[in-house]
Amino acid sequence: MTTKDPQAPGLAALAGLIADETRAACLLALLDGRAWTAGELARHAGVAASTLSEHLGKLVAGGLLAEERQGRHRYVRLADARVAQLVEDLAAQVAPAAARRPRTLRASSAGSAMARGRTCYDHLAGRLGIAVTDALTARGLLLQETGCALTEAGLSWFASVGIQLERTGRRPLARACLDWTERRPHLAGVAGAALCRHALDAGWCVRIGSERAVKVTASGERALSELLGIEPAALH
């Protein structure tokens, strides 16, 4: 007689939570790292607010989302970085099948912007994320031969730029995250999150549209060129 793996029920329940197009759309939208209201997510997913509320309740109960209330508004966000990693990794697996010709000019423009540069939960992705990761690696600041790790020179570089790395908790300092548009790894983990936060706070990048897309500003082009030798052409 075969003994059922005790993890099987939990894994099946997790898969069931994600295996719904409306809930999947919410999880992908929340990869921008921000908190959304239920109304915003309902409009994004194209469903009624009452329908969306039921889906959010399941995601919160299942531990994939965290919620908070401010007055009449209910905000939700991804529960933590591990959930974001799970969603991004799954999205990367289905990306080739989903890469079909956009039906409208608006969809084409949004897709191009996302491919050019976006946030992947709390770190940079797209061609922007790859360009930064490649530049860090080329300068010996990041090693990618066996996994992903900052070198001593890399730690010094972050400190010299004024980017503080909070080395607490279980989250790795540096982690490779498969980029679903470039099909190559970009920098995630504590270092990736800190670099993304600094890029937004310093005005190197700005968010555009309602998706996760970000655009490198003129000051960002200068900073990335001076600090990492990245040519502006690589960011467009």
How many angstroms separate the CA atoms of 121 and 131, rounded? 18
Mean pLDDT score of the chain, rounded to an integer? 87
Asked whether 201 and 108 are in contact (CB, 8 A), the reply is: no
**Where exactly are the structural domains of the chain?**
8-79, 91-235
Is the Cα dihedral 198, 201, 204, 208 positive or negative?
positive
> What is the rounded average pLDDT of the residues 77-105?
72
Calculate mean pLDDT across residues 91-99. 62
Asked if residue 84 lies in contact with residue 78, where contact means CB atoms within 8 angstroms, the answer is yes
- pLDDT surpassing 60 at residue 97: no
Enter the CATH code of domain 8-79: 1.10.10.10
The DSSP 8-state label assigned to residue 63 in this structure reads T
Q: In sequence order, what are the beta bridge partners of 149?
A: 143
Q: Is 169 exposed, middle or buried (0-12, 13-18, 19+ CB in 10 A)?
A: exposed
Output the pTM of the full model: 0.74
Q: How confident is the model at residue 3 (pLDDT cuts 50, 70, 90)?
A: low
Look at residue 45 and tell me whether its pLDDT is greater than 70: yes
Which secondary-structure segment (H or E) carries 143? strand 142-143
Count of residues in the chain: 236
Q: Pick 108 or 158 by higher pLDDT.
A: 158
**Exposed (0-12), middle (13-18) or buried (19+): which is 53, by Cβ within 10 Å?**
middle
Beta-carbon contacts of 172 under 8 Å, excluding residues fewer than 6 positions away, are 189, 190
